[in-house]
């Protein structure tokens, strides 16, 4: 799949790594030394430091873009029965956003919790688990036995997680979904903006229904001693 994005110039900044964090080569190993070296220093630091088992790091920010066509709206509403992994409320635009990453010591992976404020009612909360496993080396589970195999790509301004295929786990067996049952190509980006800020992007594109969903949010690095 081709990544069609335009990026602003980035200016990576250094950060202080506290003693509670240790070196993490899992994402570096997935990319390989060449692609890893392309990434801005700030992204290398965020994805190259490992929390001790059970510890968390949180990033606060704001939703800056939500777009969906009619098919994307139907997808987002239907997916609410399996935990609402896609943005479903356009009124979340300009609302606060929080991302919490927790090390999962049991699976040697990570838990990700994303919370998006809404104009009314409870915030949307998205739970997922990243595991360094499967044919591509990285999988994301959203619960209900549903998962997505990911390929990792790097540029000089961003780190991308690109869907390779979707699967379900039934009675311990892993079943790959036919292409016609997949929601489309999912691309999640982590874009360096400089000044200790980064942009999270989500894009879901279907071969027939076009670009169905887009979401952006701007976050700031956690304050560290």
pLDDT of residue 164: 98
The reply to whether 4 falls in a domain is: no
Look at residues 208, 214, 144 and name the one whose alpha carbon lies nearest to residue 179: 208
- Which helix (H) or strand (E) segment is 17 a member of? none
What is the per-residue pLDDT for 223? Answer: 65
Q: Which tokens go with 211?
A: 């670009």
| 121 domain residue, yes or no | yes
List the Cα angle 27/84/5 in 5-degree steps: 50
Domain count, the chain: 1
pTM: 0.86
For residue 58, what are its two tokens?
């949180």
The verdict on residue 14 lying in a domain is no
Task: Write down the pLDDT at residue 225.
Answer: 46
Does residue 91 form part of some domain?
yes
**Residues with pLDDT less than 70, the chain:** 1-22, 223-225
pLDDT of residue 22: 45
Give the model's pLDDT for residue 213: 98
Q: What is the CATH number of the domain that holds 27?
A: 2.40.128
pLDDT of residue 32: 95
Alpha-carbon span 101 to 54, nearest angstrom: 10
Domain that holds residue 87: 21-220
The predicted-structure confidence for 61-80, as pLDDT tens digits, reads as follows 999 999 999 999 999 999 99
**Given the DSSP bridges, would you call strands 197-206 and 210-220 parallel, antiparallel or unpaired?**
antiparallel
CA-to-CA distance for 149 and 167, rounded, in angstroms? 8
């Amino acid at each position: 799949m081709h990544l069609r994005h335009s990026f602003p110039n980035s200016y990576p900044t250094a950060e202080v790594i506290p003693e509670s964090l240790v070196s993490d080569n899992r994402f570096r190993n997935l990319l390989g030394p060449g692609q890893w070296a392309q990434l801005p220093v700030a992204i290398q630091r965020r994805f190259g430091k490992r929390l001790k088992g059970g510890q968390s790091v949180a990033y606060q920010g704001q939703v800056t873009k939500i777009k969906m066509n009619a098919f994307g709206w139907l997808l987002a509403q239907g997916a609410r029965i399996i935990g609402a992994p896609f943005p479903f409320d356009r009124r979340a635009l300009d609302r606060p956003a929080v991302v919490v990453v927790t090390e999962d010591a049991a699976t040697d992976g990570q838990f990700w919790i994303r919370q998006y404020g809404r104009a009314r009612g409870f915030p949307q909360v998205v739970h997922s688990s990243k595991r360094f496993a499967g044919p591509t080396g990285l999988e994301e589970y959203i619960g209900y036995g549903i998962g997505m195999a990911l390929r990792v790509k790097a540029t000089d301004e961003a780190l991308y997680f690109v869907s390779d295929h979707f699967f379900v786990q039934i009675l311990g067996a892993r079943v790959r979904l036919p292409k016609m049952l997949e929601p489309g190509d999912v691309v999640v980006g982590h874009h360096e903006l400089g000044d200790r800020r980064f942009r999270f992007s989500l894009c879901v594109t279907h071969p027939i229904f076009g670009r169905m969903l887009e979401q952006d949010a701007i976050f700031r690095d956690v304050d560290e001693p």
